[in-house]
Protein backbone atom coordinates (compact mmCIF):
# COMPACT_ATOMS: atom_id res chain seq x y z
CA UNK A 1 0.00 0.00 0.00
CA UNK A 2 2.68 2.46 -1.02
CA UNK A 3 1.82 5.52 -3.11
CA UNK A 4 3.78 6.10 -6.33
CA UNK A 5 6.95 8.10 -5.71
CA UNK A 6 6.60 9.77 -9.13
CA UNK A 7 3.73 11.66 -10.65
CA UNK A 8 3.15 9.96 -14.01
CA UNK A 9 0.61 10.65 -16.75
CA UNK A 10 -1.96 7.86 -16.88
CA UNK A 11 -1.45 6.99 -13.21
CA UNK A 12 -4.01 4.41 -12.12
CA UNK A 13 -4.70 5.29 -8.51
CA UNK A 14 -8.39 5.98 -9.20
CA UNK A 15 -8.78 2.62 -10.91
CA UNK A 16 -7.27 0.36 -8.25
CA UNK A 17 -10.52 -1.09 -6.91
CA UNK A 18 -11.75 -1.94 -10.40
CA UNK A 19 -8.44 -3.59 -11.22
CA UNK A 20 -8.36 -5.59 -7.98
CA UNK A 21 -11.92 -6.74 -8.62
CA UNK A 22 -10.61 -8.60 -11.71
CA UNK A 23 -7.69 -10.28 -9.98
CA UNK A 24 -7.64 -14.08 -10.07
CA UNK A 25 -8.06 -15.79 -6.69
CA UNK A 26 -4.45 -16.97 -6.93
CA UNK A 27 -1.43 -16.19 -9.05
CA UNK A 28 2.29 -16.80 -8.94
CA UNK A 29 4.52 -14.01 -10.25
CA UNK A 30 3.07 -10.56 -10.93
CA UNK A 31 4.28 -8.77 -14.09
CA UNK A 32 3.83 -5.10 -14.88
CA UNK A 33 5.57 -4.52 -18.24
CA UNK A 34 4.45 -0.88 -18.69
CA UNK A 35 5.15 0.34 -15.20
CA UNK A 36 5.12 4.17 -15.47
CA UNK A 37 4.35 5.44 -11.96
CA UNK A 38 3.37 1.88 -10.98
CA UNK A 39 0.25 2.76 -8.98
CA UNK A 40 -0.98 -0.85 -8.93
CA UNK A 41 2.42 -2.46 -8.34
CA UNK A 42 3.29 -0.22 -5.39
CA UNK A 43 -0.16 -0.58 -3.89
CA UNK A 44 -0.12 -4.36 -4.29
CA UNK A 45 3.43 -4.93 -2.97
CA UNK A 46 3.60 -8.36 -4.60
CA UNK A 47 5.91 -11.00 -3.15
CA UNK A 48 7.24 -12.11 -6.52
CA UNK A 49 7.26 -9.71 -9.46
CA UNK A 50 9.02 -8.53 -12.60
CA UNK A 51 8.49 -4.94 -13.73
CA UNK A 52 9.51 -3.11 -16.89
CA UNK A 53 9.23 0.15 -18.76
CA UNK A 54 10.62 0.92 -22.17
CA UNK A 55 11.75 4.31 -20.89
CA UNK A 56 15.36 3.58 -19.86
CA UNK A 57 15.61 6.59 -17.58
CA UNK A 58 12.50 5.51 -15.68
CA UNK A 59 13.72 1.91 -15.36
CA UNK A 60 17.14 3.16 -14.28
CA UNK A 61 15.49 5.38 -11.69
CA UNK A 62 13.67 2.45 -10.09
CA UNK A 63 16.85 0.38 -10.00
CA UNK A 64 18.68 3.18 -8.19
CA UNK A 65 15.78 3.61 -5.75
CA UNK A 66 15.79 -0.15 -5.16
CA UNK A 67 19.56 -0.53 -4.73
CA UNK A 68 20.87 2.81 -3.42
CA UNK A 69 18.10 4.73 -1.64
CA UNK A 70 20.46 6.41 0.85
CA UNK A 71 22.90 7.55 -1.86
CA UNK A 72 20.01 8.81 -3.94
CA UNK A 73 18.67 10.88 -1.04
CA UNK A 74 22.12 12.34 -0.45
CA UNK A 75 22.27 13.55 -4.06
CA UNK A 76 18.73 14.93 -3.83
CA UNK A 77 19.63 16.89 -0.70
CA UNK A 78 22.33 18.68 -2.70
CA UNK A 79 19.89 20.17 -5.23
CA UNK A 80 18.85 23.82 -5.04
CA UNK A 81 15.57 25.62 -5.57
CA UNK A 82 14.48 25.53 -9.25
CA UNK A 83 14.28 29.31 -9.45
CA UNK A 84 17.76 29.92 -8.05
CA UNK A 85 20.87 30.68 -10.12
CA UNK A 86 22.57 27.90 -12.09
CA UNK A 87 25.40 26.13 -10.25
CA UNK A 88 28.61 27.79 -11.54
CA UNK A 89 30.59 24.56 -10.99
CA UNK A 90 28.47 22.48 -13.41
CA UNK A 91 28.01 22.68 -17.20
CA UNK A 92 25.14 24.61 -18.84
CA UNK A 93 25.32 27.74 -16.70
CA UNK A 94 24.32 30.09 -19.57
CA UNK A 95 22.93 28.03 -22.45
CA UNK A 96 21.88 24.43 -23.04
CA UNK A 97 23.15 22.28 -25.91
CA UNK A 98 20.62 23.90 -28.29
CA UNK A 99 21.86 27.38 -27.35
CA UNK A 100 18.70 28.22 -25.47
CA UNK A 101 19.24 30.54 -22.52
CA UNK A 102 19.52 28.75 -19.17
CA UNK A 103 17.73 31.24 -16.96
CA UNK A 104 17.71 29.33 -13.68
CA UNK A 105 18.84 26.23 -11.81
CA UNK A 106 15.91 24.13 -13.14
CA UNK A 107 16.91 24.57 -16.80
CA UNK A 108 20.51 23.71 -15.97
CA UNK A 109 19.38 20.45 -14.32
CA UNK A 110 17.13 19.69 -17.29
CA UNK A 111 20.12 20.11 -19.62
CA UNK A 112 22.19 17.83 -17.38
CA UNK A 113 19.40 15.23 -17.39
CA UNK A 114 19.42 15.28 -21.20
CA UNK A 115 22.96 13.97 -21.36
CA UNK A 116 21.71 10.47 -22.05
CA UNK A 117 19.93 10.90 -25.41
CA UNK A 118 22.82 13.05 -26.53
CA UNK A 119 25.31 10.25 -25.92
CA UNK A 120 27.36 12.04 -23.38
CA UNK A 121 28.65 10.23 -20.33
CA UNK A 122 26.07 10.17 -17.58
CA UNK A 123 26.03 8.93 -14.04
CA UNK A 124 23.12 6.58 -13.25
CA UNK A 125 22.68 7.80 -9.70
CA UNK A 126 22.70 11.45 -10.76
CA UNK A 127 20.25 10.75 -13.57
CA UNK A 128 17.87 9.05 -11.15
CA UNK A 129 18.09 11.96 -8.72
CA UNK A 130 17.50 14.40 -11.56
CA UNK A 131 14.43 12.47 -12.69
CA UNK A 132 12.84 12.82 -9.28
CA UNK A 133 13.95 16.45 -8.93
CA UNK A 134 12.49 17.38 -12.33
CA UNK A 135 9.32 15.39 -11.63
CA UNK A 136 8.75 17.47 -8.47
CA UNK A 137 9.68 20.84 -9.97
CA UNK A 138 8.55 20.71 -13.62
CA UNK A 139 5.31 22.06 -14.98
CA UNK A 140 2.38 19.91 -13.86
CA UNK A 141 4.66 16.98 -12.94
CA UNK A 142 4.61 15.80 -16.54
CA UNK A 143 7.15 13.56 -18.19
CA UNK A 144 7.38 14.36 -21.89
CA UNK A 145 10.13 13.99 -24.48
CA UNK A 146 10.69 15.72 -27.80
CA UNK A 147 11.48 13.85 -31.02
CA UNK A 148 15.17 13.70 -30.06
CA UNK A 149 14.31 11.95 -26.81
CA UNK A 150 15.09 14.98 -24.67
CA UNK A 151 12.97 15.78 -21.64
CA UNK A 152 11.40 19.11 -22.57
CA UNK A 153 8.90 20.10 -19.85
CA UNK A 154 9.27 23.70 -18.63
CA UNK A 155 9.71 24.71 -15.02
CA UNK A 156 6.61 24.57 -12.80
CA UNK A 157 5.38 27.05 -10.25
CA UNK A 158 5.43 25.64 -6.76
CA UNK A 159 5.63 27.60 -3.52
CA UNK A 160 7.69 24.92 -1.77
CA UNK A 161 8.62 22.06 -4.07
CA UNK A 162 9.78 18.98 -2.13
CA UNK A 163 12.15 16.80 -4.10
CA UNK A 164 13.96 14.93 -1.34
CA UNK A 165 11.01 12.74 -0.28
CA UNK A 166 12.93 10.46 2.09
CA UNK A 167 9.99 8.42 3.30
CA UNK A 168 8.57 7.84 -0.18
CA UNK A 169 11.99 6.83 -1.55
CA UNK A 170 12.62 4.38 1.31
CA UNK A 171 9.14 2.84 1.06
CA UNK A 172 9.50 2.52 -2.73
CA UNK A 173 12.89 0.89 -2.27
CA UNK A 174 11.46 -1.71 0.09
CA UNK A 175 8.66 -2.65 -2.30
CA UNK A 176 11.15 -2.99 -5.16
CA UNK A 177 13.62 -5.13 -3.20
CA UNK A 178 14.24 -8.38 -5.06
CA UNK A 179 12.22 -7.28 -8.12
CA UNK A 180 13.95 -7.24 -11.52
CA UNK A 181 13.39 -3.90 -13.28
CA UNK A 182 13.78 -4.27 -17.06
CA UNK A 183 13.80 -1.61 -19.78
CA UNK A 184 12.60 -3.58 -22.77
CA UNK A 185 9.76 -3.51 -25.24
CA UNK A 186 6.61 -5.04 -23.73
CA UNK A 187 7.05 -8.15 -25.93
CA UNK A 188 9.70 -9.54 -23.51
CA UNK A 189 6.85 -10.67 -21.25
CA UNK A 190 6.18 -13.48 -23.71
CA UNK A 191 9.37 -15.16 -22.42
CA UNK A 192 9.09 -14.16 -18.77
CA UNK A 193 5.47 -14.95 -17.90
CA UNK A 194 4.60 -18.55 -17.01
CA UNK A 195 1.23 -20.27 -16.72
CA UNK A 196 -0.36 -19.21 -13.42
CA UNK A 197 1.27 -15.77 -13.47
CA UNK A 198 -0.63 -12.46 -13.67
CA UNK A 199 0.24 -9.72 -16.17
CA UNK A 200 -1.18 -6.19 -15.90
CA UNK A 201 -0.78 -4.10 -19.06
CA UNK A 202 -1.31 -0.36 -18.89
CA UNK A 203 -0.23 0.97 -22.31
CA UNK A 204 -0.26 4.58 -23.42
CA UNK A 205 -3.91 4.94 -24.30
CA UNK A 206 -5.16 4.74 -27.85
CA UNK A 207 -6.40 8.34 -28.40
CA UNK A 208 -10.17 8.81 -28.30
CA UNK A 209 -9.89 11.41 -31.06
CA UNK A 210 -7.04 13.12 -32.91
CA UNK A 211 -7.23 16.05 -30.48
CA UNK A 212 -7.19 13.85 -27.40
CA UNK A 213 -3.77 12.59 -28.29
CA UNK A 214 -1.49 11.83 -25.40
CA UNK A 215 1.06 9.17 -26.16
CA UNK A 216 4.26 11.16 -25.72
CA UNK A 217 5.78 9.30 -22.80
CA UNK A 218 8.82 8.77 -24.96
CA UNK A 219 10.13 9.81 -28.32
CA UNK A 220 9.22 6.35 -29.66
CA UNK A 221 5.47 6.70 -28.93
CA UNK A 222 2.90 3.89 -28.99
CA UNK A 223 0.80 3.79 -32.15
CA UNK A 224 -2.04 1.80 -33.67
CA UNK A 225 0.26 -1.05 -34.71
CA UNK A 226 1.60 -1.28 -31.18
CA UNK A 227 -1.96 -1.56 -29.89
CA UNK A 228 -2.57 -4.41 -32.30
CA UNK A 229 0.55 -6.34 -31.31
CA UNK A 230 -0.31 -5.79 -27.65
CA UNK A 231 -3.68 -7.41 -28.26
CA UNK A 232 -1.95 -10.36 -29.94
CA UNK A 233 0.47 -10.64 -27.03
CA UNK A 234 -2.44 -10.68 -24.57
CA UNK A 235 -4.11 -13.43 -26.63
CA UNK A 236 -0.93 -15.49 -26.66
CA UNK A 237 -0.59 -15.22 -22.90
CA UNK A 238 -4.24 -16.19 -22.54
CA UNK A 239 -3.63 -19.30 -24.66
CA UNK A 240 -0.77 -20.25 -22.35
CA UNK A 241 -2.77 -19.99 -19.12
CA UNK A 242 -1.41 -16.63 -17.97
CA UNK A 243 -3.94 -14.28 -16.33
CA UNK A 244 -4.09 -10.92 -18.11
CA UNK A 245 -5.64 -7.62 -17.03
CA UNK A 246 -5.36 -4.59 -19.30
CA UNK A 247 -6.57 -1.01 -19.10
CA UNK A 248 -7.00 1.18 -22.17
CA UNK A 249 -9.16 3.94 -23.59
CA UNK A 250 -12.79 3.38 -24.56
CA UNK A 251 -12.05 3.10 -28.27
CA UNK A 252 -10.45 -0.31 -27.73
CA UNK A 253 -13.63 -1.85 -26.28
CA UNK A 254 -14.63 -3.80 -29.41
CA UNK A 255 -11.12 -4.89 -30.19
CA UNK A 256 -10.87 -6.73 -26.87
CA UNK A 257 -14.45 -7.94 -26.80
CA UNK A 258 -14.13 -9.39 -30.31
CA UNK A 259 -11.00 -11.20 -29.14
CA UNK A 260 -13.00 -12.89 -26.36
CA UNK A 261 -11.89 -10.88 -23.33
CA UNK A 262 -14.27 -9.78 -20.58
CA UNK A 263 -14.44 -6.01 -21.07
CA UNK A 264 -15.88 -3.42 -18.72
CA UNK A 265 -15.98 0.37 -19.04
CA UNK A 266 -14.98 2.81 -16.37
CA UNK A 267 -15.67 6.52 -16.41
CA UNK A 268 -12.62 8.40 -15.24
CA UNK A 269 -11.38 11.94 -15.41
CA UNK A 270 -7.77 11.86 -16.34
CA UNK A 271 -5.95 14.93 -15.18
CA UNK A 272 -3.66 15.38 -18.14
CA UNK A 273 -4.49 18.91 -19.25
CA UNK A 274 -3.37 21.59 -16.88
CA UNK A 275 -6.52 23.63 -17.49
CA UNK A 276 -9.14 22.08 -15.21
CA UNK A 277 -12.01 23.16 -17.48
CA UNK A 278 -10.68 21.35 -20.50
CA UNK A 279 -9.79 18.04 -18.87
CA UNK A 280 -10.90 15.24 -21.09
CA UNK A 281 -13.47 12.86 -19.68
CA UNK A 282 -12.22 9.53 -20.91
CA UNK A 283 -14.10 6.30 -20.74
CA UNK A 284 -11.57 3.66 -19.90
CA UNK A 285 -11.94 -0.03 -20.46
CA UNK A 286 -10.54 -2.86 -18.40
CA UNK A 287 -10.19 -6.09 -20.33
CA UNK A 288 -9.31 -9.41 -18.74
CA UNK A 289 -9.29 -13.12 -19.43
CA UNK A 290 -10.03 -13.89 -15.77
CA UNK A 291 -13.54 -15.36 -15.69
CA UNK A 292 -15.83 -13.93 -12.98
CA UNK A 293 -15.91 -17.33 -11.26
CA UNK A 294 -12.11 -17.38 -10.99
CA UNK A 295 -11.77 -13.96 -9.42
CA UNK A 296 -10.67 -13.62 -5.84
CA UNK A 297 -11.73 -11.70 -2.80
CA UNK A 298 -9.02 -9.14 -3.29
CA UNK A 299 -11.52 -6.30 -3.55
CA UNK A 300 -12.55 -7.14 -0.01
CA UNK A 301 -8.97 -7.68 1.13
CA UNK A 302 -8.20 -4.15 0.07
CA UNK A 303 -10.80 -2.72 2.45
CA UNK A 304 -7.84 -1.87 4.69
CA UNK A 305 -7.34 1.09 2.41
CA UNK A 306 -10.44 2.80 3.71
C1 LIG B 1 -0.11 4.66 -19.08
S2 LIG B 1 1.58 4.61 -18.64
C3 LIG B 1 1.53 3.52 -17.25
C4 LIG B 1 0.99 4.22 -16.04
C5 LIG B 1 1.04 3.39 -14.76
N6 LIG B 1 0.12 2.30 -14.77
C7 LIG B 1 0.83 4.26 -13.55
O8 LIG B 1 0.06 3.92 -12.66
O9 LIG B 1 1.48 5.31 -13.46
C10 LIG B 1 2.30 3.68 -19.92
C11 LIG B 1 3.80 3.37 -19.78
O12 LIG B 1 4.15 2.47 -20.85
C13 LIG B 1 5.49 2.73 -21.23
N14 LIG B 1 5.67 2.19 -22.59
C15 LIG B 1 5.38 2.79 -23.78
N16 LIG B 1 5.65 1.97 -24.81
C17 LIG B 1 6.13 0.81 -24.25
C18 LIG B 1 6.59 -0.42 -24.81
N19 LIG B 1 6.61 -0.62 -26.13
N20 LIG B 1 7.00 -1.39 -23.95
C21 LIG B 1 7.01 -1.17 -22.61
N22 LIG B 1 6.57 -0.03 -22.03
C23 LIG B 1 6.15 0.95 -22.84
C24 LIG B 1 5.61 4.25 -21.14
O25 LIG B 1 6.97 4.63 -20.99
C26 LIG B 1 4.72 4.57 -19.92
O27 LIG B 1 5.50 4.71 -18.75
Please give the residue range of the domain that contains residue 242. 13-54+184-305
301 band by pLDDT with thresholds 50, 70 and 90: low
CA-closest residue to ligand 1 atom 27:
36
pLDDT digits 0-9 by tens, 128-152: 999 999 999 999 998 999 989 999 9
CA-closest residue to ligand 1 atom 4:
36
d(CA 34, ligand 1 centre) in Å: 4
Q: What is the mean predicted confidence (pLDDT) over 222-227?
A: 90
Report yes or no on 172 lying in a domain. no
Report yes or no on 97 lying in a domain. yes
The residue among 278, 45, 58, 42 whose CA lies nearest residue 184 is: 58
Higher pLDDT, 295 or 274: 295
pLDDT digits 0-9 by tens, 27-71: 999 999 999 999 999 999 999 999 999 999 999 999 999 999 999
Which atom of ligand 1 lies closest to the CA of 222? 16
Report yes or no on 193 lying in a domain. yes
Which atom of ligand 1 lies closest to the CA of 185? 20
Report yes or no on 91 lying in a domain. yes
CB-based pocket (< 6 A), ligand 1: 8, 10-12, 33-34, 36-39, 53-55, 185-186, 202-204, 217-218, 222
Q: Is residue 48 located within the same domain as residue 82?
A: no
d(CA 275, ligand 1 centre) in Å: 24
Q: What is the pLDDT of residue 28?
A: 98
CA-closest residue to ligand 1 atom 26:
36
The residue among 186, 183, 115 whose CA lies nearest residue 151 is: 115
Residue 281 has pLDDT above 60, yes or no: no
d(CA 298, ligand 1 centre) in Å: 24
Q: Is residue 297 located within the same domain as residue 190?
A: yes
Buried b (16+ CB within 10 A) or exposed e, 162-184: ebbbeebbbbbbebbeebebbbe
CA-closest residue to ligand 1 atom 3:
36
Q: Is residue 245 located within the same domain as residue 299?
A: yes
Count of domains for the chain: 2
What CATH number corresponds to the domain at position 140?
Answer: 1.10.1020.10
Q: Is residue 282 located within the same domain as residue 236?
A: yes
Q: Is residue 132 located within the same domain as residue 211?
A: no
Q: Is residue 251 located within the same domain as residue 110?
A: no
d(CA 88, ligand 1 centre) in Å: 36
Q: Is residue 296 located within the same domain as residue 202?
A: yes
What CATH number corresponds to the domain at position 222?
Answer: 3.40.50.150
Q: Is residue 49 located within the same domain as residue 73?
A: no
CA-closest residue to ligand 1 atom 13:
34
111 band by pLDDT with thresholds 50, 70 and 90: very high
d(CA 112, ligand 1 centre) in Å: 24
Q: Is residue 293 located within the same domain as residue 195?
A: yes
Report yes or no on 3 lying in a domain. no
pLDDT digits 0-9 by tens, 87-99: 999 999 999 999 9
Which atom of ligand 1 lies closest to the CA of 186? 20
Q: Is residue 21 located within the same domain as residue 113?
A: no
Q: Is residue 127 located within the same domain as residue 223?
A: no
**What is the separation of C-alpha 297 from the centre of its chain, rounded to a whole number of angstroms?**
27
d(CA 83, ligand 1 centre) in Å: 30
d(CA 32, ligand 1 centre) in Å: 9
Report yes or no on 21 lying in a domain. yes
Report yes or no on 110 lying in a domain. yes
pLDDT digits 0-9 by tens, 178-220: 999 999 999 999 999 999 999 999 999 776 655 444 444 445 5
Q: What is the pLDDT of residue 98?
A: 93
Report yes or no on 112 lying in a domain. yes
* d(C-alpha 288, C-alpha 230), whole Å: 13
Q: Is residue 291 located within the same domain as residue 192?
A: yes
Q: Considering the chain, what percentage of its residues have pLDDT values greater than 90? A: 77
Amino acid sequence: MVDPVLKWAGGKRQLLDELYARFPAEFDTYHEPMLGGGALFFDLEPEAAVVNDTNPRLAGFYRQVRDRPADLLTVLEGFADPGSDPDPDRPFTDTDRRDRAVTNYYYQQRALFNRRPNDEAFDELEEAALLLYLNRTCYNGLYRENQRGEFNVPVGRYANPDWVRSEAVRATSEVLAGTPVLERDVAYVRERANPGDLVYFDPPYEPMSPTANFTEYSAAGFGREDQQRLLELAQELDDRGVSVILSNSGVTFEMYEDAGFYVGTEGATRAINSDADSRDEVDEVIATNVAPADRGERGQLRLDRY
